[in-house]
Structure 1
Amino acid sequence: MQQLSGLDASFLYLETPNSPMHIGGLTIYDPSTAKDGKVGFKQILANVAQRAHMVATFNNVLLEVPLKLDHPYWRSAGQFDPEFHIRHIALPKPGDWRQLCIQVARLHARPLDRARPLWEMYVIEGLDNLEGYPSGCFALVTKMHHAAIDGASGIEIAATIHDLSPDYNVDQQIEPVTTDRKPTAMELIWRSQINSLRTPRRVFEVAKNSVPGLAKMATGLARGRLKRITDIPRTRFNTNVSPHRVVEAAEFDLDAIKAIKNAVPGVTVNDVAIAICGGALRRYLADKQELPERSLVAMAPINVRTHDKRGTAGNQVSQMTVEVGSQIDDPLARLDFVHKSTRAAKQLTNAVGAKTMTDYAQFIPSTLSAAAARLYSQLGMANRVKPAYNCVITNVPGPQIPLYFTGAKMLSSFALGPPIDGMGLFHGLGSYCGKFNITISACREMMPDPAFYARCLNDAFAELHQATSADGVREAQSTTKQVRSEKNQTKVMTKRKKKSGNKNRSTTSKPASK
């Protein structure tokens, strides 16, 4: 039995009926690589059940402390019920991309059952008319509570249930799963009291370790070396969310993304992706006549999982605040702006220490957190207070080699995230096997036209790709030189006028004194 950290538990406290706090993914498979060219639902049940002993999240149930005096615990309840957690549905004809997105959005909107292990998996068949995919594909939609995993641990779990080849033996023996004894209510209360006595010492240790970083940050802000983003504009994405969701995605060639990166010195793949999101947000909000003059701001999670924590579940994340350049029309200028913004955000995060927020989250009182989250939603505070961010942009790189699930080859992988009150737009960035995609999960009331936003993402990528091509760079350099030349000419003319004016004043005779 293991107690949730303060950060893990916060995702339970933040959950409301309108904003379930699970993350997940949509993966698409070609069954032609499997034995006999097909994959049966019973094979999928057996495959996942055989690997359950390697993924604690599959078997752990939530154990609440009485009166919520402390953070909950994960307790292994033994082998999970495959037929409850893994479900089988099919799209009606024609089985196209729009139908798939609508179905995934509906599944993603439903909260998980807290009485059972906090995950679900849906096998979706009938994908016979997906552009760019062979007929007969099937999809897998996974949902796992954010209290149990973050993006990095989610990738590790995905690796556990996949293989590096289509060879798969469905007759393997199922390994037993250990069952934890369920403690009594008095035992849990006693544990909470012991934790309360230990908290002051732990707070002192964290504070002692973080004081140098906080002092460094304060000095950097005071001297202007560090920049903190303030005055964030309000958009349609920064109100209370409805219980309804939309899902869409835009997929690009990873080499094309890297070509954009390589065309501008110092720029990263993450910078390129954020600039594409910034360009899409600019197009989308301009179409609604709602584009703010200031740049929109994204919350970008940072993986702070150390080497010794690899392979463990839970959350090891911090975050940084990044301006997406939505106020800039020129794609190259926007990319340069985003690069400077991410660099400034990293400097600020490094100054205080990326793990500081994670460390302090351990001491959030459980009763206070849960009550504050409920009040924030019930009082509609997202509609009243100034937004801390406009959206989420998170990048979790995936493997660049083919993976197989029950013998079927994975063709694409898309990341799903939780829109929440005050931040109803989530961008999940991911890469797999030479492809790079941006998947959006959003409140349906805030974004009723997700297909249009996908076009905005594609258009933003196209203009950036064109601008960073050889011809585009030469044209930009030529324009820059011309502007600089015009500025230099203006400076020269201004200097000449000043010099001429000074000379005229010096030769003007003074009136004779009487």
Structure 2
Amino acid sequence: MQRLSGLDASFLYLETRSQLMHVIGLVEIDPSTMPGGYDFAKLRTEMQRRVAAIPAFRRKLDNSVFNIDHPVWIEDEDFDIERHVHRVAVPAPGGAGEVAELCGHLAGQTLDRGKPLWELWIIEGLSNGRICAMLRMHHASTDGVTSAEMLARMCSLTPEPPELDAEKVRETAGPPSRATIAATGAINYFVQRPLAMAKLLPRTVSVPVGWLRRAQQQSAMPAPFMAPRTRFNSAITPHRSIALSQLSLDDVKRVKNHFGVKINDVVLALVGGAMRTYLLEHDELPEKPLVGMVPVSVHDADESDLVVEGTNKVTGMFTLLSTDVDDPVIRLEKQAEFSRKSKEHHAEIDANILRSWAQFAPGTTLSTVMKVYGERKLASAHPPIFNVLVSNVAGPDFPLYFLGCRVTAVYPLGPIFHGLGLNITVFSADGNLNIGILACTDQTPDPWEIANAFDDQLKQLLAACD
């Protein structure tokens, strides 16, 4: 068995019927490249073969009533591919709107915790002859980097089925043992955690001190609970709305090179411009800049002695978004400055401090608090922590084949939270910048207005390059 880290388990504790903690990869594929022609049964059989080399897809949760620590992963000895890979047809006429509506409905459903926490929906009937594969994975078992790695194991450089990684095939979470779960959990709780707390407290004190020092020098990233209120910052419901956009990566790089900024600066400027356009159209644009939270991978950081190894290796960086600026060029330049300050400030903070504190997450208590927090709509009772979650994940810049079918687009979709009802995730792959937008339908019934604004914002910056 493998015990979940505190951060991994936190995504289980945070989940309610309205606040669903899974991540989504929506992959558009061309079935004409599949060897021997497309056939759903054949595709599912090939998926079953590849799952043998994806250990995270074969493990499920286990716990004991005597366990006072986080749950564990065990190998699912009764794994059945038919419980995970499903087939559905998109309603006519099968355009992008119908696909997004169907995926929004699926995104609002909970994952069954009695089996491995993932499912794959093969969506047929698109008007362009393509197929969409919607992969849902619980955040407890993946983060942005690991989800990209798992997606890569379902892909290959050619349509032909690849050889499986023998080491991954042999890897296992192991069998269940309720006595071991309880015993090791008690040791962690009564022995290791007090020692970890004693080490963690002194390291944490320096964070607010450094933040205050930088704030006085006007070089700090924005603090939590300082964001202006928008429609996205209230309690959410289980209903999800999805919108997609695809931009040319060469066009984005052209803007980057012309203005001497980074790709992430261009992405954040596009986000700020799109949100400014959307909120202006609804007469809801705050005078103050919006605040974005950017997840930062710490996969390459040195492991802290206070951190238990887990799947999620991520922290967060706050940054202002230049939504208060009308001119797209000035907005980009200002965004680059905001990003620089935030990165310099974030670099001073221990990358593992969030994961270290997450080890102390109280499961039952946190689950109860989140339920009350959502039901009482308490997100509207305090200033917003931030306004939008923005992720930017770099993918392969070459063609891929998903279970034998040529990949034409990959749209990532991250979770939303009470008080934080908008997630914009960007994934660059094979010459394209794919943008996935997930929102709460009751807050944002029209996310396509945001998605369409990305194209317009990029065109304005390209015109400035000319």
Amino acid at match of 1:15: E
Deviation at 1:417?
1.2
With over 3 angstroms needed to count, the CA separation of the structure-2 counterparts of 1:382 and 1:67, relative to structure 1, is farther
| Match 2:454 to one of 452, 457, 460 | 457
With over 3 angstroms needed to count, the CA separation of the structure-2 counterparts of 1:215 and 1:307, relative to structure 1, is closer
**Structure 2: how far apart are the matches of 1:225 and 1:178?**
47
| Match 1:244 to one of 239, 246, 259 | 239
Whether the aligned pair in 2 keeps the contact of 1:404 and 1:410 (CA below 8 Å) is yes
Whether the aligned pair in 1 keeps the contact of 2:244 and 2:411 (CA below 8 Å) is yes
Structure 1 partner of 2:300: 306
> Deviations for 1:64-122, whole angstroms, at most 9, x for unmatched residues?
34266221111111362111100011123321111111111111111100111100000
Q: How does 1:394-433 map to 2 (within 5 A)?
A: 394-433=391-430
Q: How does 1:175-186 map to 2 (within 5 A)?
A: 178=172, 180-184=174-178, 186=179
**Structure 2: how far apart are the matches of 1:408 and 1:384?**
49
**Structure 2: how far apart are the matches of 1:171 and 1:421?**
41
With over 3 angstroms needed to count, the CA separation of the structure-2 counterparts of 1:223 and 1:412, relative to structure 1, is closer
Deviation at 1:335?
0.8
Deviation at 1:416?
1.0
Deviation at 1:2?
0.8
Whether 1:8 and 2:8 are equivalent positions in the alignment is yes
| Match 1:142 to one of 116, 130, 135 | 135
| Match 1:350 to one of 336, 347, 350 | 347
Amino acid at match of 2:425: G
**Structure 1: how far apart are the matches of 2:428 and 2:214?**
35
With over 3 angstroms needed to count, the CA separation of the structure-2 counterparts of 1:405 and 1:313, relative to structure 1, is farther
Identity %: 33
**Structure 2: how far apart are the matches of 1:141 and 1:285?**
30
Structure 2 partner of 1:154: 147
| Match 2:374 to one of 372, 377, 381 | 377
| Match 2:385 to one of 380, 385, 388 | 388
Whether the aligned pair in 2 keeps the contact of 1:29 and 1:408 (CA below 8 Å) is yes
Q: How does 1:220-231 map to 2 (within 5 A)?
A: 220-229=214-223, 231=226
**Structure 2: how far apart are the matches of 1:201 and 1:175?**
37
Structure 2 partner of 1:277: 271
> Deviations for 1:360-398, whole angstroms, at most 9, x for unmatched residues?
222223333223222211221111111101111001111
Tell me the TM-score normalized by structure 2: 0.92
> Deviations for 1:473-501, whole angstroms, at most 9, x for unmatched residues?
xxxxxxxxxxxxxxxxxxxxxxxxxxxxx
SS in 2 for 1:45: helix
Deviation at 1:225?
4.3
Runs of 5+ unmatched residues, structure 2: 304-308
Amino acid at match of 2:251: A
Structure 2 partner of 1:39: 38
Deviation at 1:195?
0.8
**Structure 2: how far apart are the matches of 1:47 and 1:407?**
9
Structure 1 partner of 2:25: 25
SS in 2 for 1:35: coil
Structure 2 partner of 1:263: 258
Deviation at 1:330?
0.7
**Structure 1: how far apart are the matches of 2:421 and 2:389?**
9
Deviation at 1:47?
1.5
SS in 1 for 2:125: strand
Paired residue total: 458
Whether the aligned pair in 1 keeps the contact of 2:50 and 2:164 (CA below 8 Å) is no
Whether the aligned pair in 1 keeps the contact of 2:143 and 2:313 (CA below 8 Å) is yes
Structure 2 partner of 1:72: 71
Deviation at 1:192?
2.2
Runs of 5+ unmatched residues, structure 1: 130-135, 471-514
SS in 2 for 1:441: strand
> Deviations for 1:207-259, whole angstroms, at most 9, x for unmatched residues?
45556666544543445443434631111000111111111111110010011
SS in 2 for 1:314: coil
Amino acid at match of 1:444: T
Structure 1 partner of 2:84: 85
**Structure 2: how far apart are the matches of 1:444 and 1:68?**
38
Structure 2 partner of 1:118: 117
Structure 2 partner of 1:195: 188
Tell me the TM-score normalized by structure 1: 0.84
SS in 2 for 1:104: helix
Amino acid at match of 1:199: R
Structure 2 partner of 1:291: 285
Whether the aligned pair in 1 keeps the contact of 2:53 and 2:169 (CA below 8 Å) is no
**Structure 2: how far apart are the matches of 1:183 and 1:68?**
11
SS in 2 for 1:120: strand
Larger Rg: 1
**Structure 1: how far apart are the matches of 2:88 and 2:357?**
43
Deviation at 1:175?
6.0
Structure 1 partner of 2:58: 59
